[in-house]
Amino acid sequence: MKKATPEVILFKKEHASRLLPSVSTDDNKASRGRSLILGGSHDYPGAGILAARGALRAGSGYVMLAQKDLVVSSLENPDFLVKDLRGSSLSDLNFDAVLIGPGFGVNDYTAELILELKTKNFPNVVLDADALTTCVDFKLFPLPASWIVTPHTGELARCLKVSVHEVTKDRLAAIKKARQLFQCVVLLKGHGTLITQGQEIFRIASGNAALAKSGTGDVLAGMITAFRAQGLKPLEAALLGAYVHGATANLWVQSHKDALSMIASDVIDSIPRILWRLRQG
């Protein structure tokens, strides 16, 4: 891979193509992976839906959106399963990878779920949004090495206890500090998304300002969860998810649509085209 700087490796289309999950005539919905989305709440019902739809578009055979007090309807969202967690526990659910955080709330319950997954050494976990703030408030760092965190600049600043300006002015230094804190795969969202597992830092060669819209990060987190559920390694899932996510924004502007107008649902709708392009090599 070409190095963007002496410290950073540029991750491009040809690299993403090699990571794409294979498609076989022997596939069934179980073999495509089961993704559990712990997201959404009364205050932010859409976040979990966007993440679940992102996971579906990224190929997960089963997607379940689970909440403590269910605020979404299966009639309005027939493509994925919904589950009310009242009276249930994670051990009652069947899943290969789990996302915690988008719109889920910063509270004791979120902390309990994260701690449960840590205690049980469940390997395929993605933490985003409220889950990251929960880790700060409840002092849950460090995390297992196989987990993935997906902070934006503001969230990372909160985790590192520094200003947003300090993260923005030196993103390389920030992601190195984040890796020391989290001890897992770190994906720093923003212009020139950066990803590291410790030894190397990758910059994603896709994406533009069209992604600067609420909800797009929820879609990304769902996509990464789906790739983990399908068997990709943590770093691979983060790299592929980030590249595809960025490529949807490139496709948007290439289709003569203004960067200001893209919304999270447009990202979801663009995923099939990007995956098709990658599979064609």
Summarised one tens digit per residue, pLDDT across range 140-192 is 999 999 999 999 999 999 999 999 999 999 999 999 999 999 999 999 999 99
CATH superfamily of 8-279: Ribokinase (3.40.1190.20)
Query: Residue 155's CB: how many other CB atoms inside 10 A?
Result: 24
Band of the pLDDT at 7, cuts 50, 70, 90?
confident
| pLDDT given for residue 3 in this prediction | 65
- Name beta bridge partners: 219: none
The pLDDT > 70 percentage for the chain reads 98
Closest by CA position to 97, among listed 53, 136, 127: 127
User: What phi, psi does 261 have (nearest 5°)?
Assistant: -95, -10
Asked if residue 189 belongs to a known ligand binding site, the reply is yes
> Sign of the C-alpha dihedral, residues 254, 257, 261, 265?
negative
Band of the pLDDT at 98, cuts 50, 70, 90?
very high
How far apart, in whole angstroms, are the C-alpha atoms of residue 203 and residue 128? 19
Asked if residue 129 belongs to a known ligand binding site, the reply is no
Asked if residue 152 belongs to a known ligand binding site, the reply is yes
Nearest-10 Cα torsion for 113, 115, 120, 122: 70
Asked if residue 217 belongs to a known ligand binding site, the reply is yes
Q: Determine the average pLDDT of the residues in 15-40.
A: 94
Asked if residue 48 belongs to a known ligand binding site, the reply is no
Asked if residue 15 belongs to a known ligand binding site, the reply is no
Sheet with 185-188, edge to edge strand ranges = 8-11, 201-204, 194-196, 185-188, 148-149, 125-127, 97-100, 34-38, 62-67, 81-84
